[in-house]
Structure 1
Amino acid sequence: MPDESQTPLNAASGLPVAPSLEPALAAVDAPPEYVPVDRRVVVISAIAVLVGIGAALLANVLTRLIGLITNVAYYGRVSTAFAAPSTVRLGAWSILIPLTGAFVVGIMARYGAAAIRGHGIPEVMERVLYARSRIAPRIMFLKPLSAAIAIGTGGPFGAEGPIIATGGALGSIVGQFVRMTADERKTLLAAGAAAGMAATFGSPVSAVLLAVELLLFEYRPRSVIPVALASAVATGVRAAFVGSAPVFSVPALTQPDLETLFAYTLIGALVGVASVGVTRFVYWVEDLYEELPIHWMWWPLVGALVVGVIGYFEPRTLGVGYTNIDAILSGNIVGRALLVLIVLKFLSWAIYLGSGTSGGTLAPLFTIGGGLGAALGSLGILIDPRLGIDAHVAALVGMAAIFAGASHALLASVVFAFETTRQPLGLLPLLAGCSAAYLVSLLMMRSSIMTEKLARRGARIRTEYAVDHLSHVLVRDASSRQVVSLRAADRLGDVRHWLASGAKGSSHQGFPVIDERGELCGVVTRRDLLDAARDDTTTIASLVRRGAVVVYEDNTLREAADHMVRAGVGRLPVVAREAPRVVVGIVSRSDLLSAHEDRLDAAHVPEESLPLAAPWSRRHSVMSRRRTRLRDRS
């Protein structure tokens, strides 16, 4: 029967020795060694490269399909060249073109797949979070086709959202045909999505960052490497089709001084406020559609009517609008024309997007943000020319800042603006402006334009990525050295009597079992010991049903927690690698929870590390005595 003398208090005190144990049990079951990458990552990377090539080809096909539909609908010609819609040829009849496209998209969504509705990225995020990254194969065909029809008939959307969704669908489908884990399938989905964005804008690095910030929800070598390779190869495929010139042209920029940098930061903050307003307005419009007494299939027709009317008076609001972004950044649209374009593009896009049609958000956001930035920059020049504000830089900051504020993808926004303009002197204003927009947006609204839809469905999406605290803490630093163990030869009746006595250590829920050599045999639980079907004459050794499941003292608590889940146990004996059957401690689930106390203290308990008073002052003496008392008490 266990007692104080038979229970080891530390590694040096030894372990109780039982006479014998028959038969000998299997070797210990310890956590596997951590490896950042293995051969499987090489296989997934190779598949991701193929997915990247496929996504780039799909992006090219979608772009040409949009061009074909635009040319047929607005110009009456058969051509796949990318063209901006124009109402000159058809006049007022051009209002019917968006209505026709909306009708077709509504039919496709109703009878094909309702998942094609929306701007793509939130839908992909939902599949990652709640469907183990599985996307139906028909989405890969219906999503780009519906988007091409909606955009080609004048829809004021970007092609990048549907392309990202299509690339993600391709990666998911490949991951469903090939036997792999859900994490590997998620990696392929993110690789396809990043490849789609990279193939659209020629922005491989920001595409990877966007995948990390919005789709992967992690930063690990085994996921980032395949995504980066897919993004790189997709950019190479794009260069083979359209060249490697930057997507947007901006005149040469100059290095801003401190005052100018402050002005760009303020512009970013104001655009951040606008990004919150844009997000709320879009979802307010969605709520209005919910009140309509008609089936959702017909909602796009309402939005398309607004698009057609606005487009008749301001044709530049129709279609993707990449030429508008380029004109804003280069300073070719200014003054009243700029303000009119911003307001009408925003209304056209928000009202049509809220109807649930198929289209992207990034290009419209870039148009609105770039226009706001250019307008604010021009206003700053009028107020104080000495600030040295460059309207081109202000437009670039506005374009990226509204992306950062609306999507909460800070790093992707900064790098994207650089990659699409190739202006390195714009990086400093971009970093300051986007950070300010990101801060303001988070203060005003928890959800982004990408996650608000999921939040309304009850999901809580936190886009904060930190290294798991348990992976920093070693088992030796969190385990208990007060190990209460049982001898293999003990009789069950004696142990039950000890449990009923309430003696020290008898309230534990699990006990290591030690043989006559002082080595671990396994672990028995309190339920095993109190099982009425067991006779009192039974030995403790006979209750051990599996080999010893242990954790090494130099493992992390994360490895220990994972091992508990795999083994289906609530506690693990702690052993040293050089003596894997000699118990030196025990770690339980409560120890895992207790380890988070340091993390919570570091996050929420203010502390004064250095004295703020002079060493000779009375306040310094009081603080020193207080610290001494606390140290002595601990």
Structure 2
Amino acid sequence: MKPDEHSQSLLTLSLLAILIGIMGGIASWGFRMLIGLIHNFLFLGEFSPYYDANVHTAASPWGVWIILAPMLGALVVAWLVKNFAPEAKGHGVPEVIYSIHYEGGKIRPVVAIVKSLASSISIGSGGSVGREGPIIQIGAAFASAVAQWVTLPVHQRVTLVAAGAAAGIAATFNAPLGGIVFAVELLLVSISATTLLPVALAVVVATHTGRFLLGMTPAFDIPALQMPTFEQVPFGELMIFIPFGLLMGVVSAFFVRGIYWAEDRFDSMPGNYYTRHVTGMFFVGVIFYLFQHFSGHYYVQGVGYATITDLLNGTLGNPWFLLLLFAAKMLATFLTLGSGASGGVFSPAFFLGGTLGAAIGQFAQMLFPELSIEPAAFALAGMVAMVGSATGAVITATVMTFEMTRDYNAILPIILSAVTAYAVRKRLSPESIYTLKLIRRGQPVPEGLQAAIDVARQVRDVMTPQFRVVSDGDTAQASPQIGLQFQGNRIQGVIPPQVTLPTDASPQPYVVVSPNEGLVEAMHRMNLAEVDYALVSDSAEPYSVESIIGILSADDIARASRKTADLLR
């Protein structure tokens, strides 16, 4: 812990989490109002913040000139990102993960402001991105600012960052369980009472605040899906979701790789950020204008929730048109994010999985009329399979989709499709859409939870109990054993293995730890002191030779980690 950092009690951390939850709920409401304000002004010429994304936008009075809307948005987004916060570019979640693993949870406060503006403009002007990634980054940035203001140490700061991110996504989707599971699956580095309580408190308060400001209805309010009836899915129909999941895994891997392929293509184009982003958004504008002109709705612009609502209501029944929507949305998302927009990938992935799933459901209904196949069930399963496999957050996607639709009957097909798709994506593309961005920058992070065995270990479980003792002034011959140099019964330093004193080196510095101390805490103390050795003592006089019962070295820790690796393969 740095001198200016102060560890706080769990009660204080919980109170800060409540504050972050309030801020997350208000930020979610404000972000949606800002999106509505920009969208209504650019598409309809109206100055109003009220915008229901689940309802199709009316035809713009600008006609074909609506193509200029995403281009104008691109100019402003590029200016904001380039001049104030480069971290605001893209889908946001990788930057939060990076801050946790590489920056100790520190996020510049300006990121919250710039991300709010840039993402609301990208979405409101018609870009094919979602609002979940931005609100995650916005909530995390608010939480980081609070943690830095209170001067919390790293482990408490990253907990609050995860709490802020979870609060943002929970309030945005009215999905408190999904918010908690998202933090557990992707953000928290350990799961315990001291990490889970602040996250849960922030999520509950943010969801309550969001419901007060935005209402109680689920994200996709489809009454037919919320019928409190429970039906057994026929076994034959259930088995169809295995090959369906295999297909969704392949599509997910293509989606993950395709976004960064598009990003590379735009980066290699002549010109600068402004010209590349405007070019990409010009083609996005052309795509959604053509849909409006020939089919009556913009369909692929923005978050796409209106189209998803149509899928779940069963009002889009032509499988070939659904495949066209799928291909157009994929292209629009590649153009939007690849050229440099600011926005999330959850919503595009929901759209892609939903349209492809509904199309396959329609085809399956034609091929197997004897089965009671519901295309809406395939749409739901496709949404979860696409989001879960692309992001690596399978449980989050499953729980969140249930909270967003309140449809429990589709849970078995959803689980079967999602885990199958995830396994296939993992095989074809080992990195998720989040971790791949960091890998490309040379910043590897884990995907998913790992067994936290080191947290459960104590120093006595890893230390070396054998060591030799050498008096100060004596010659210590090279030996495979670690040695202690002492003078007058006081320890002067540690003699590394295979070192001859005084010819090879001088004794090494050390810290003193208790045998019952946690291994992680001991590692933390060694790291702060910048030493490779910790002397293990269970005595009130820890600096005497007689009190030392073992030595914990960096090599001991490395050996323990190698054994842990066998469990994590």
Pairwise TM-score range, normalised by the shorter structure:
0.7 to 0.9
Deviation at 1:521, TM superposition (A): 4.7
Which residue type is aligned with residue 376 of structure 2? H
Structure 2 distance, partners of 1:530, 1:522, is 15
Which residue type is aligned with residue 40 of structure 1? S
Match of 2:380 in 1: 396
Partner residue of 1:281 out of 245, 258, 261? 258
Structure 2 distance, partners of 1:132, 1:559, is 16
Structure 2 distance, partners of 1:368, 1:476, is 52
Q: Give the direction of change, closer, same or farther, for the CA distance of 1:395–1:529 in structure 2 (3 Å limit).
A: same
Deviations 1:517-563 (A, max 9, x none): xxx7546433899358x9xxxxxxxx9999x92432x5555455445
Deviation at 1:478, TM superposition (A): 4.9
Deviations 1:141-168 (A, max 9, x none): 1211122222222222222222222111
Is 1:298 matched with 2:282? no
Aligned length: 541
Q: Give the direction of change, closer, same or farther, for the CA distance of 1:478–1:373 in structure 2 (3 Å limit).
A: same
Comparing 377-386 with 595-604, which one deviates more in the overlay? 595-604
Partner residue of 1:186 out of 158, 166, 179? 158
What secondary structure is seen at the aligned counterpart in 2 of 1:135?
coil
- Root-mean-square deviation (CA, aligned residues, Å) is 3.0
Task: After TM superposition, list the pairs within 5 Å mapping 1:312-327 onto structure 2.
Answer: 312-314=289-291, 315-327=298-310
Deviations 1:334-362 (A, max 9, x none): 21332222222222222122100122221
Comparing 554-563 with 306-315, which one deviates more in the overlay? 554-563
Is 1:146 matched with 2:146? no
Partner residue of 2:234 out of 240, 257, 262? 257
Say if 1:410 and 1:434, in contact at 8 Å, map to a contact too.
yes
Q: Give the direction of change, closer, same or farther, for the CA distance of 1:44–1:438 in structure 2 (3 Å limit).
A: same
Q: Give the direction of change, closer, same or farther, for the CA distance of 1:145–1:422 in structure 2 (3 Å limit).
A: same
Partner residue of 1:420 out of 384, 388, 404? 404
Match of 1:510 in 2: 483
Which residue type is aligned with residue 530 of structure 1? L
Partner residue of 1:165 out of 133, 137, 157? 137
Structure number with larger C-alpha Rg: 1
Match of 2:288 in 1: 311
Say if 1:260 and 1:389, in contact at 8 Å, map to a contact too.
yes
Structure 2 distance, partners of 1:544, 1:375, is 68
Structure 1 distance, partners of 2:165, 2:568, is 34
Q: Give the TM-score of the pair, scaled to structure 2.
A: 0.86
Comparing 181-190 with 308-317, which one deviates more in the overlay? 181-190
Match of 1:591 in 2: 556
Structure 2 distance, partners of 1:599, 1:47, is 35
What secondary structure is seen at the aligned counterpart in 2 of 1:268?
helix
Q: Give the direction of change, closer, same or farther, for the CA distance of 1:598–1:66 in structure 2 (3 Å limit).
A: closer
Match of 2:27 in 1: 58
Match of 1:267 in 2: 244
Q: Give the direction of change, closer, same or farther, for the CA distance of 1:433–1:579 in structure 2 (3 Å limit).
A: farther
Say if 1:551 and 1:574, in contact at 8 Å, map to a contact too.
yes
Partner residue of 1:233 out of 202, 205, 210? 205
Match of 1:224 in 2: 196
Q: Give the direction of change, closer, same or farther, for the CA distance of 1:102–1:568 in structure 2 (3 Å limit).
A: closer
Deviation at 1:170, TM superposition (A): 1.1
Is 1:175 matched with 2:158? no
Which residue type is aligned with residue 404 of structure 2? T
Structure 2 distance, partners of 1:600, 1:360, is 33
Higher RCO structure, 1 or 2 (CA under 8 Å, sep 6+): 1
Which residue type is aligned with residue 557 of structure 2? L
Deviations 1:292-336 (A, max 9, x none): 110112222111211211111211222222121121122121213
What secondary structure is seen at the aligned counterpart in 2 of 1:224?
helix
Deviations 1:93-119 (A, max 9, x none): 211222221222222223333332212
Q: Give the direction of change, closer, same or farther, for the CA distance of 1:578–1:310 in structure 2 (3 Å limit).
A: same
Q: What residue ranges of structure 1 are gaps of 5+ in the alignment?
A: 1-37, 535-542, 605-634
Say if 1:103 and 1:300, in contact at 8 Å, map to a contact too.
yes
Say if 1:521 and 1:544, in contact at 8 Å, map to a contact too.
no
Structure 2 distance, partners of 1:88, 1:601, is 59
Match of 2:61 in 1: 89
Say if 1:195 and 1:234, in contact at 8 Å, map to a contact too.
yes
Match of 1:80 in 2: 49
Match of 1:447 in 2: 431
Deviation at 1:452, TM superposition (A): 1.8
Deviations 1:253-298 (A, max 9, x none): 6331333222223322211211111122221111111121101122
Which residue type is aligned with residue 556 of structure 2? D
Deviation at 1:60, TM superposition (A): 0.8
Q: Give the TM-score of the pair, scaled to structure 1.
A: 0.78
Q: Give the direction of change, closer, same or farther, for the CA distance of 1:431–1:71 in structure 2 (3 Å limit).
A: same
Partner residue of 1:132 out of 104, 115, 135? 104
Quote the sequence identity (%): 34
Deviation at 1:585, TM superposition (A): 4.5
Say if 2:190 and 2:452, in contact at 8 Å, map to a contact too.
no
Q: What residue ranges of structure 2 are gaps of 5+ in the alignment?
A: 1-6, 292-297
Deviation at 1:130, TM superposition (A): 2.7
Comparing 111-120 with 158-167, which one deviates more in the overlay? 111-120
Structure 2 distance, partners of 1:545, 1:79, is 66
